[in-house]
Structure 1
Amino acid sequence: MIPALIILFLSALFLVWQGTLSLEVGFALMAFSISATIWKRLRRVQILRRIRMESKERKAKWGGIMTVVSGLSSFTGMSCHLFITRNDELVVEDVAGIRVIPLSEVERMGLLYGKTLSRQGDRQLMRQLGFRTIPNFSSVRAWVERNPRARNRLLLVVRFQEPLNRLEYSEMVVFSDIESYGNLRSFALRPEVAVKTAILPRRSKVKSGSLRKITAPVLDDNILK
């Protein structure tokens, strides 16, 4: 959104300078683009501040806002709040209710970009993420196709040892950080998370401080068979 507003501002400025656009219309467009940019920045600051306050109120070690993609009874595309409590529990809170999931019941987690799904098949992702069985990302791929912005945003994949419950029969839940409120860097740096999390794509050389340096080891292929 912000890049589009910047393009609008520069286009209006160029057209006014060229004489193609009247001063009144040009200045109105430039004022609109500047105001909208400032408003979006302020709104982002307010949301991030609210996340920090809610995490502090719950005495949580981490908090973020994500979008449900698949695996929960919540509607696809619904915003939800995620927290990690001091008891090492993953709390998922949305209009459908509150779910408390002990991290001990989580088998593996993964962080990958939406575009990675179009480049790798489910079997490849199983090995890259260290899953013991082949996951089904077909519905996630379809959602990413319907939401192009999600291609360049991180997905959080949570694989459980057992299905959540009878009402939410799912062994895997996928969230998207499409709005960039997930605070996923801090999430991945949590020790209790890092030991179970793989971050894709993997590279042989990583920069200092990169998240890929803290990924959990992937199981050997012989174990995965």
Structure 2
Amino acid sequence: MMMNLFSVFDPSTSIFNLSINWMSTLSGFFIVPMMFWLLPSRYIMIWSSMLSTLHQELKLLLYSYQNLGATLIFLSLFTFILCNNFLGLFPYIFTSSSHLSMTLTLALPLWLSFLIYGWLNHTQHMFAHLMPQGTPPALMPFMVCIETISNLIRPGTLAIRLAANMIAGHLLLTLLGNTGPFISMPITSILIISQMALLMLESAVAIIQAYVFTILTTLYASEI
């Protein structure tokens, strides 16, 4: 029985004064599809098909029909988050995407780079974006304040959404797992089935959260 429910998210495990829990973030690089195979495996074919579909969707959001590399950063972001979300579902692997120190590191630089680029190169468009079309004159000052605040909290909402969704499922799995030694065998069978169903749900959440983070970041970039 763990002393603290949130100890599963503690990154303090260290060897030689190095926090080795964060090394799980780089574990996704070991399962990158091998591009030098004579024939592609089923894994590579499924992954290529998924990335191709996502590329077509992101291209429509960015209106980039000529620049074929415009979606590369967002596809890389999706792959990175998805790998870390899935790795956190395995036993004894640290879930780095459940910490704000990682999610905010992903969201803040992207949002800040889009914002700086927009204000430096499309200043008039950025000013116009603060005032939705058809706003009554009496509401214009309030709309400017509301749009400014909504733009400023975007990196926080991106980071908190991803971290909170990953924490919630892991906490529920931990709570159910801690009750196992204190219940009877028939109820334990029901508990195992419930945890298997919840693990499948968490797998879907891992994909959905990586997709939502990528799509929202793409939408923020398309406004510039």
TM-score band w.r.t. shorter chain:
under 0.3
TM-score by length of 1: 0.24
Query: TM-score, normalised to structure 2's length?
Result: 0.24
More strand by share: 1
Structure scoring higher RCO (CA < 8 A, sep ≥ 6) equals 2
